[in-house]
Structure 1
Amino acid sequence: MTGPIETAVADLAAWLTGAAGDAVPVGPPRDDADGGLTVWPLELRPARQTRGSGAREPYRFVVRLLVCATGPAALPRLDRVLAAAAAAGEPEVTLTAGDPALWRAFGVAPRPALLVDVPAQIARPVPPAPPVLRPLRLRQLEMRTLDGRVVGPEQQPLAAMRVEVVGTPYTTHTDTAGRFRLAGLPHDPDEPDRPVRVRLVGRGRTHTAELDPADPDLVIVCAPPAD
């Protein structure tokens, strides 16, 4: 099975061969009488990871490869590689491969070279789904409407207050009489007494209340903002 690093190197070598018009072998820089281009994996670099709410995202990284030219005959090939990368906008090319320590490590004389970053990833295993141990039971949720009023400490109606059910997208605003209506709220018949938690925002106030959905006259008293 071919791994992501081996695949990245092979793919870039094939692309370089097509762009240069001549075979580009995978190998370290060398002093060769025939000259030419070579490509060699130089290092692995971290890439920004992504997170999702579903299956685990692949582990992403970058394979940095050294592409160098040996001998004058290799310069036109390197020109063609640069032109092809610039025209296509990929692969990502970095012109910072002139560190003398790099060439000393390879035991060769400095030469024109470039770095190419190739993205790679490793797929994470998907955990098996737990077995179903009992028959599935479907429950149908009912819909209900919540009517109420928002007033101040002196029972004055508070208009244009935002009323939202906490943790849901259900929201509305009070009218000039402080009344509001939240329609289409899911209701579990198995939990008829479960309160509905709402948040009120407006007039410099933020207030949270728990409402009894069975109360026919819901009134929320919203205190004034603190000084």
Structure 2
Amino acid sequence: MIDQVDQRLKAWVGRVVGDMPVSLATPDRSSLEEGVSLYLLELGALPPARTGRRVPLQFSVCYLITVGAQTPERAHHLLGELVFSALEIADFEVELSPVPLELWATLGVPPRPAFRVRVPVRRERAEPNVQRVRFPLVLRSASPEELRGRVVGPGDVPIPGALVELPSLKLGTRTDARGYFHFPLVPPVESLGGLEVRAKGEVLHVGAEALTPNQEPLVIRLPLKEG
């Protein structure tokens, strides 16, 4: 995944400064004489992405970017063009604070104008393979009912994207942005056999005695681990 970010940044540099050498290696005196240095400086944490689907895995990568050219004026011009271009890209976090002198000393090169760009790296996770019954259901000997509910966490904060299943019917759905779910046609509660809720690594089993079809939405409070 990081190698894809490498290629993306190299292509971006090419669009901004044209045909100029681009190095991903540790910057040294020779590599900084002519070309653009994209040095992977560090990895960082990112908060979970907000999405109705299964939360993707993600972190950030931070690159130290500096430019060398035949004249200082040329290097300064190209560096400024890269900064302005990076500021236009939505998922680039540009850091313009001074680079610590200790870093330059570690690299063995004199301090020089540079900036840092932090870019997210994400990996999507496959949705669980949940078998769903296609409606309308064929129900015998009992009138169909509907089941409505809401999944919340600590403080009754809605949990979107939670997987709600009726295992006895092999039926599943997901909560909407406000935490609500809806099964339009189900048999009487006596035959449902309970309900399961899965979200953020937690699984909660709700017995059939707690289900209330055709009445006020059932509130399911999912105990989530702090931190």
Normalising by structure 2, we get a TM-score of 0.54
State the 1:138 CA deviation: 4.2
Q: Does 1:12 align with 2:9?
A: yes
* Contact kept? 1:58, 1:123, Cα under 8 Å: yes
Identify, as 1 or 2, the structure richer in helix.
Answer: 2
Please name the residue that 2:116 is paired with. 115
Distance 1:63 1:11 in 2: 13
Give the superposition deviation at 1:82: 1.5
**Residue type matched to 1:67 in 2?**
I
Which residue number corresponds to residue 61 of structure 2?
63
How far, CA to CA, are the matches of 2:98 and 2:107 in structure 1?
13
How many Å apart are 1:120 and its aligned residue?
0.8
- Give structure 2 stretches of 5+ with no counterpart: 132-136, 151-183, 192-208, 217-227
Q: Spell out, residue by residue over 1:49-71, the C-alpha distance to the aligned partner (whole angstroms, 9 max, x if none).
A: 136675x3220111111101235
Gaps of 5+ in 1: 131-136, 145-164, 169-184, 200-227
Contact 1:44 1:64 in 2 (8 A): yes
Shift of 1:25: 2.4
Count of aligned pairs: 155
Residues 97, 115 of structure 1: 8 Å contact kept: no
Q: Deviations over 1:60-90 (max 9, x none)?
A: 1111111012351422110111222334556
**TM-score in terms of structure 1 length:** 0.54
The answer to whether the 8 Å contact 1:30/1:70 transfers is no
Structure 1 residues 138, 105: closer, same or farther in 2, change over 3 A? Answer: farther
Aligned residue for 1:39? 38
Residue aligned with 1:45, SS? strand
SS at match of 2:24: coil
* Equivalence map 1:180-195=2 (5 Å): 188-189=187-188, 191=190
Pairwise mapping of residues 53-92 of structure 1 onto structure 2 (< 5 A)?
A: 56-70=54-68, 72=72, 73-88=74-89, 91-92=92-93
Report deviation, 1:127: 5.1
CA distance in 1, matches of 2:55, 2:77: 41
Is contact 1:58–1:121 with CA below 8 Å preserved after alignment?
yes
C-alpha displacement at 1:95, in angstroms? 0.7
Q: Distance in 1 between matches of 2:37 and 2:101?
A: 18
Letter in 2 for 1:100: L
Contact 1:35-1:70 at 8 Å conserved across structures: yes
Task: Report what 1:142 is aligned to.
Answer: 144
Equivalence map 1:199-218=2 (5 Å): none
User: 1:143 touches 1:187 (CA, 8 Å); kept in 2?
Assistant: yes
Q: What is the alpha-carbon root mean square deviation over aligned residues? A: 4.0
How many angstroms apart in 2 are the aligned matches of 1:141 and 1:41?
A: 63
Equivalent residue, structure 2, for 1:172: none
Query: 1:105/1:166 Cα in 2 relative to 1: closer, same or farther (>3 Å)?
Result: same
Distance 2:121 2:11 in 1: 16
Higher Cα radius of gyration: 1
Q: Which residue of 2 aligns with 1:154?
A: none
Percent of counterpart pairs with the same letter? 27
